[in-house]
Amino acid sequence: MSTVQSIERAMNIINLLSKNPKGLGITEIHHELELPTTTIHRILSTLGKNNVVVKNGETDKYSLGLYFLQISSGILDNLDVRSVARPFLETLRDTTGEVIHLCIQEEGEAVYIDKFESTQKIRIASQVGYRALLHCTGVGKMLLAGMEIDEVKDIINVKGLPKFTENTITDYESLIQHLQGVREQGYSIDNLEHEETIRCIAAPVFNFRGETIAGISIAGPAERVTMDRVENELRPLILEKSKEISKALGYFE
């Protein structure tokens, strides 16, 4: 048997076991794949030595081992959220015409790691590398909503809740209550809370563990990004892209 043929047969056995989580015996694999039982036994023995498959001593059935979980975890951990999100966010910019941001949390602040410029004449001033406080921005509140309450408290103790506009949340209990609403609805709105003329809506990006690792936002001048437009047009669009990016990073609801 050639090496290529051995690899192909091993892959066929692995694919078959992946569809049968309760396991299969050698005879069952033989009936499914029409391979000699001696060949199946030899392949399973080799795969077992590397934890690719495991044998149940009571049933004599084989199932997939932890090898693939370890490999997939390594792959997912190495996915770059910026490169993964880019095509989705470009589409979001083209669809809405507004500026799109991708942000992460670092040292209690929102850091803008990517930006897709608006196609409109009137634009907003922001740039990659810009940092903003979390309590007063759409992506910031989205990132806070993904944290444990103790972590939120630690950040607020250091950064405070400074007032930027009349709409800025400056009371800790009010912020905690607000974040609960953000978690329940799955998005957050900066309703002129950081700048009096800018409104935005933000949604989370989850990794394969279900952790909030980034936030995406659609932002623009308040006269163009009205609350009516946010609720009826932009909200479903950003939630759709949020799910698509998260799925591309290995997250499944």
DSSP type of residue 24: B
Q: Which domains does the chain have, with CATH numbers?
A: 3-75 (1.10.10.10), 79-248 (3.30.450.40)
- Classify residue 142 by burial, with Cβ atoms within 10 Å: 0-12, 13-18, 19+: buried
Sequential pLDDT tens for the chain (253 residues): 577 888 899 999 999 998 888 899 999 999 999 999 999 999 999 998 888 899 998 899 999 888 876 666 555 555 588 889 999 999 999 999 999 999 989 889 998 888 888 887 666 766 777 889 999 999 999 999 999 999 999 999 999 999 999 999 999 999 999 999 999 999 999 999 999 999 999 999 999 889 999 999 999 999 999 999 999 999 999 999 999 999 998 888 7
Backbone phi, psi, residue 165, to 5°:
-140, 180
Q: Which of 136, 92, 135 is nearest to 114 (CA)?
A: 92
Give the model's pLDDT for residue 215. 96
User: What's the confidence (pLDDT) of residue 142?
Assistant: 96
pLDDT at 69: 67
pLDDT reported for residue 121:
67
pLDDT of residue 16: 92
Helix (H) or strand (E) holding 1: none
Q: What is the pLDDT of residue 98?
A: 94
The long-range contacts involving 238-242, CB below 8 angstroms and separated by at least 24 positions, are 238/92, 238/187, 238/201, 238/202, 238/203, 239/186, 239/187, 239/203, 241/88, 241/89, 241/91, 241/92, 241/203, 241/216, 242/186, 242/187, 242/203, 242/204, 242/205, 242/216
What is the per-residue pLDDT for 80?
Answer: 84
